[in-house]
Structure 1
């Protein structure tokens, strides 16, 4: 996946990307629900990067523990994605059955040094002040205080992970899918070159049209009329 796409999307928001994904046949706009932003980057811009996935499972899981330290082999411009195996997930708040945190300040410190763009944790995190002091974006379900080691282990690195998006519903995040996140939430763009070409062409046009809609509304124009006029050729 071209790093140029990451740089391009940093100029926009997850909402802009969702509008484009809806336009091209993705009805949920790629939105992954239930996450909260706990820290942001120093620039205040969207966190954008290619997914680098890590899967945790209970200690009792028959799969062997991955001995490599995922945090030391992060690719530059990646988004760290940590997920739990399905039996540790819940479709209802707090969306996770594990009270231990699986990610902390030292992980963000290392990730930032290696050039990662942020971390999306489908579980609990700890050391909130450290993430904020770093100016490193972290998104998660919630907070905890205990480390993960006593109860879970890493069973996969750079593998597809499934995360709950509703009762009996899961979203798959594949390695190198693009994630874009800000205070509005997290959006996934599939690793699909044709789709990416379409949305990168569409997004600036849609943003410009919506800016014109806003100007029309401020002058007293009806919203529906302004939207129909400005978006007519999109």
Structure 2
């Protein structure tokens, strides 16, 4: 059986759209809800550059941090793996080999990731950061070469509005839940998608079949077929 490293390498051969096509078929959505197919909308690459043509795909398991409003009571989880060890900063708990996924309370204007945090993550071996909120100190973040995707920027430090609440817990990114160990797929061309860890093997099994069907459709259209007829001929139910 392939290792997780081998599986992530296989994913490099596909696009975020390919992943979402597979998830659209595999995920069961509650009645009346819109399928999201893992798409994490409106994330922008800020580091090491905003030029998407110069960025590689970033694919790694998620480790998670949930920030809370500064005015909220401190979280006091019964499981110590969800809290922060005494005498440490939250970023000291960042996990090597993962993409740090940060949930920031909606509507805040401060940043939850800055230059010092990015430098610490880089030192610890973090693969990158995905921030459902704002970042700052772009010059410092880019200088340390940590890949960072976020929704926006700020000049204001975290302590103005937010504080770390929990780690290693499910987080919500624009209405899509991400759990520790889920695979984050940052595609500089097509966007960001999250693969639930329990669906990774099924996604890897299904994607080649879907891509092969679409390749046949494209070839038929290039030869003059209508899209309707090409879909009818080559898009079979899986």
| Normalised TM-score (structure 1) | 0.79
| 1:55 counterpart residue number | 66
SS of the residue aligned with 1:149? helix
Which structure 2 residues correspond to residues 82-121 of structure 1 after superposition, within 5 A? Answer: 82-84=102-104, 88-89=105-106, 97-121=107-131
- Identify the residue that residue 79 of structure 2 maps to in structure 1: none
Q: CA RMSD in A?
A: 2.7
In the alignment, which residue of structure 1 is the partner of 2:27? 25
1:71 pairs with 78, 91, 96, which one? 91
The CA distance in 2 between the partners of 1:229 and 1:131, in whole Å, is 50
Unaligned runs of 5+ in 2: 29-34, 76-82
Higher strand share: 1
Alignment correspondent of 1:168: none
SS of 2:159's equivalent in the other structure is coil
Matched, 1:217 2:237: no
Q: Is the 8 A contact 1:51 1:174 kept in 2?
A: yes
Q: Could you say which residue in structure 1 is the equivalent of 2:14? A: 12
1:167-214 deviations in Å (ceiling 9; x for gaps): xxxx3221111111223222111121xx22221011122223323322
Give the CA deviation at 1:145.
Answer: 1.1
1:152 and 1:158 map into 2 onto residues whose CA distance is 18
The aligned residue for residue 57 of structure 2 is: 46
Q: Measure how far apart 1:133 and its partner are.
A: 5.0
Alignment CA distance shift 1:61-1:6 (3 Å): same
Moved more, 110-119 or 142-151: 110-119
* Structure 2 partner of 1:123: 133
Within the candidate set 176, 179, 192, 1:186 is matched to: 192
Report the alpha carbon displacement of residue 20 of structure 1 after superposing the two structures with TM. 0.4
Contact 2:70 2:161 in 1 (8 A): yes
User: What's the offset of the Cα at 1:99?
Assistant: 1.2
Measured in 1, the distance between the counterparts of 2:48 and 2:20 equals 20
1:35 matched to which residue of 2? 43
Give the structure-2-normalised TM-score: 0.78
Q: Would you say 1:80 and 2:106 are equivalent positions? A: no
Aligned to 1:2: 4
| Per-residue deviation, 1:18 | 0.3
Change (3 A) 1:12 1:107: farther
Match of 1:232 in 2: 236
Matching residue of 1:94: none
Aligned length: 217
Q: What is the deviation of 1:135?
A: 4.8
Q: 1:204/1:107 Cα in 2 relative to 1: closer, same or farther (>3 Å)?
A: farther
Q: Secondary structure at the match of 1:103?
A: coil
Report the equivalent of 2:178.
173
